[in-house]
Chains A and B, each alone.
Chain A
Amino acid sequence: MKDVLILGIESSCDETAASIVKNGRDILSNVINSQISIHQQFGGVVPEVASRKHIENIAGVVDKAFKDAGLSYSDIDAVAVANAPGLVGALLVGVSFAKGFAYALNKPLLAVNHLHGHIYANFLEHENISFPAICLVVSGGHTSLLYMASRGHLKLIGETRDDAAGEAFDKVARFLGLGYPGGPAIQKAAQQGETGRYKLPRVFLDRNDFEFSFSGLKTAAMNLWRKSERQGNASVYDMAAEFQEALVEVLAEKTIRAAQEYQVHTLLMAGGVAANQRLRNMMKERSKALGLQLYYPALNLCTDNAAMIAGDAHYYYINGRFAPLTLNAYPGLWSL
């Protein structure tokens, strides 16, 4: 069979990204233009600022994806773009560019759900993932557990009631003065601290469902921090360590419980928070103890990228699921 080359475009939050993937597996280029340094001065992603950077960078990022892959524009078979969920103004830049680019090249357009893309990042690197599986999706905007009957069949079995895990990391990191983005900042501080010195709750672990809640954990951390500051024995490292542990333990434990309840042998992790080393290690230990097969993407494929979009789109391409020129962007659509 002839090789299929797909250009992926991703602009849902603060990374402008483009990638060319061959046959849904070989990443020929993976360009990511991160805006982190710009948003750091605001203490978080500012949607209008993000959209302005996307429109400035999009053409250059796509052009570089072709140069890095050593391909010319007409070599590709289709253009894929993330159209939900995310910041709608940011998504629209990628979607509009993808439409113009695909139309001009007379190639089909493919629409990919960003979260589905995160999940698919696992398939870029691992062959023969067996189903059914439980997938933990953890990012700045989402914390969800999914039951996957097969590659394309996903069912939401639980999600966060309030803050997403990444959001909680960001808010607590900002509160502790550790900077943005919060996940990497807390992980780094936690390496120098000890868990257990501060005592934070493991929220919802006493419940038998697959729901999460991190808003209360965040408040508890803040209160405990203020109290220890007053007492003059505050340690930002110990607090970071305990906060990370409390959050990660709930994520890991609920994921393992879901695997047991649904009797699956495969676990997947996806999204930016899946890059957290403590989460990866804890999941590794627990799944090994139970003989479960655990997958998670490489670090650079956990955070937002376009290879996951191009890779996921391969599946739509071979099934002829093309998007129309009327394709729109949606801020909060799962549509799995």
Chain B
Amino acid sequence: MLILAIDSATPVAGVALLTEEKLLKEEFSNYKKTHSETLMVMIDRVMKECECCLDELTAIALSIGPGSFTGLRIGMATVKGLCLAKSLPLIEICTLDAIAHNIAGTRALVCPLLDARKQEVYTAFYDVEETKPRRLGQIMACSPEQFVNAALSLAREQERDRLILLGDGFYSYRDYFHKMLGEKMQAAPLHLGLPRASAVGSLAIDKALEGDYADPLKLRPLYIRLSEAEYRLGKGEL
């Protein structure tokens, strides 16, 4: 099995190539340039340096959101182009699942947070006692306050005395979270704090084994939120 994994859901761009046993190469970039300028070049570099061609791939795994709408679409359009041209299977991975997968083997409640702008975060809660994360409940778009309340009540209910926070949404509201959660809160180490394409790929292996593939003709990003115009139309403001 050979999986190419791609993530462009946040300001981070990531590309990884892996088998079931081995992470062959990973590129992570969180520096200035836009995804449309970097992503395809990173894909090309990863493939070439591993002397691999697209025909050898089992599937392409993609981080489908939530995240930045434009970032998600750049990644998805690129992957749709690659998959359609080569009839390659496409595997969709939730971005929050992938970030939660940076942490494993702890009883702590793992809370990936993505900056959703408008003073909100995208988040979900995870149990990561086993190697793979298990999502507890729904993915939410909510205010940092709502997140704190939900996290504390779930931790209490499940008797978990620690919360591990990570993702760019954590960094955006770090001081606030620190104030509200105090000793209970733990930040992920720097190198595990943001989405990693290797984590997307790792989660995709199980899906590939099950043949759980997405249709490139129909797949959409996981937006969580409606567009502003649709939201206003729904409220009768347009």
Contacts and interface: CB of A to CB of B under 8 A. Distances in A.
Interface of A: 41-43, 46, 48-49, 51-52, 54-56, 58-60, 62-63, 73, 89, 92-105, 325-329
Shortest Cβ-Cβ A-B pairs, 6 listed: A100-B81, A104-B85, A96-B77, A101-B81, A48-B227, A100-B78
Contacts of A73: 84-85
A129 to B, nearest CB: 34
Most A CB contacts (10 A, CB to CB) among B36, B70, B82, B217 go to B36
B184 to A, nearest CB: 37
B140 interface: no
B80 A58 contact: yes
B218 A56 contact: yes
A73 B81 CA distance: 11
Contacts of A94: 77
Contact of B40 (A42, A46, A92, A325): A325
B129 to A, nearest CB: 36
Contact of A99 (B78, B83, B218): B78
Given A56-B220, A89-B73, A99-B78, A104 B34 contact: no
A54 B77 CA distance: 9
A93 B220 CA distance: 12
Contacts of A93: 73, 77
Interface string B28-44: 00000010111111011
Contacts of B78: 96-97, 99-100
A55 B220 contact: yes
A104 B54 contact: yes
Interface string B70-95: 10011111111111111000000000
A59 B70 contact: no
A244 B223 CA distance: 41
Contacts, number: 114
Contacts of B54: 104
Given A51-B69, A52-B220, A97-B77, A59 B84 contact: yes
A52 B222 CA distance: 11
Contacts of B83: 100
A209 B220 CA distance: 48
Contacts of A51: 69-70, 73
Contact of A59 (B38, B73, B217): B217
B201 interface: no
Interface stretch (B108-116, B157-165, B167-175, B228-236): B228-236
A84 to B, nearest CB: 12
Given A96-B81, A104-B81, A55 B76 contact: yes
B227 A46 contact: yes
A211 to B, nearest CB: 33
B144 interface: no
A174 to B, nearest CB: 12
Contacts of B217: 59-60, 63
A43 B232 CA distance: 13
A79 to B, nearest CB: 9
Given A55-B221, A62-B84, A327-B36, A92 B77 contact: yes
A46 B231 CA distance: 12
Most B CB contacts (10 A, CB to CB) among A49, A96, A326 go to A96
A93 B78 CA distance: 8
Contact of B233 (A42, A100, A104): A42
A237 B39 CA distance: 52
A329 B37 CA distance: 9
Contacts of A105: 85
Contacts of B227: 46, 48-49, 52
B219 to A, nearest CB: 8
Contact of A43 (B36, B39, B43, B238): B238
Nearest to A98: B81
Contact of B69 (A41, A89, A99, A104): A89
A51 B229 CA distance: 13
5 contacts: A48-B228, A55-B73, A56-B218, A92-B70, A98-B81
A97 to B, nearest CB: 4
Contacts of B230: 49
A100 B40 contact: yes
B84 A48 contact: no
A58 B77 contact: yes
Contacts of B229: 42, 46, 48-49
Given A51-B73, A97-B77, A104 B41 contact: no
Contacts of B38: 326
B85 A41 contact: no
A96 B36 CA distance: 7
A328 B37 contact: yes
Contacts of A99: 40, 78, 81
Nearest to A64: B217
B36 A95 contact: yes
